[in-house]
Amino acid sequence: MKNKIAVIGAGSIVFCKTLLNDMFNTPSLSGFEYALMSPTSGKIEKMKNYAQKIIDKNNLKAKVYATTDRRDALKDAKYVILMFQIGGVDAFKLDYEIPLKYGVDQCIGDSMGPGGIFRFLRTYNILRDIDRDIKELCPGATVLNYVNPMGMVCGYLGRATDMNYIGLCHGVQTTMDLISGYTNVPKDEIDFIAAGINHMAWFLKLEHNGGDLYPLLKANMEKPEYYINEKVRGEVMRHSGYFMTESTGHLSEYLPWFRKNRKSLDLYCDQPDFGGASGAYYKFSSAIQDKFNKIDVLSIETGELEPRSKEYCSYILEAIETNIAFKLNGNILNKNYITNLPNNSCVEIPVYVDKDGFHPLTVGDLPVALAAMNQSNITVQNLAVEAAVNIDPELVFAAVSMDPLTSSVLNLTEIRDMTIEMFEAEKEWLPEFNGKTPKKITDINIPGNTAGVPVPVDPALAINSRFGKLGE
Distance CA 100, CA 104 (A): 5
User: Which one from 170, 208, 226, 227 is the annotated catalytic residue?
Assistant: 170
34 SS3 class: strand
User: Which one from 242, 254, 281, 282 is the annotated catalytic residue?
Assistant: 254
HSE-CB at 317 with a 13 A cutoff on CA atoms is: 27
Phi-psi region of 241 (alpha: psi -120 to 50; beta: other; left: phi over 0): left
Task: Return the H-helix or E-strand segment holding 353.
Answer: strand 346-354
80, 50 in Cβ contact below 8 A? no
Beta strands in 117-236 (DSSP E): 142-145, 164-167, 190-197, 200-208, 211-212
CA distances from 163 to 7, 156, 167 (A): 15, 10, 11
Distance CA 435, CA 230 (A): 42
CA 303 to chain centre: 31
Number of Cβ atoms within 10 Å of the Cβ of 180: 17
User: Own/partner pairs for 380-383, CB < 8 Å, 24+ apart?
Assistant: 380/112, 380/117, 380/404, 381/149, 381/151, 381/152, 381/155, 381/345, 381/346, 382/155, 382/342, 382/344, 382/345
Does the active-site annotation cover 170? yes
Distance CA 351, CA 332 (A): 9
443 SS3 class: coil
Does the active-site annotation cover 156? no
In DSSP notation, 61-94 reads S-EEEEES-HHHHHTT-SEEEE---TTHHHHHHH
At residue 161's C-alpha, the angle toward residues 156 and 167, to 5°, is: 55
Number of Cβ atoms within 10 Å of the Cβ of 267: 13
Distance CA 56, CA 77 (A): 23
Distance CA 332, CA 381 (A): 13
Distance CA 357, CA 93 (A): 38
Residues tagged active-site = 170, 254
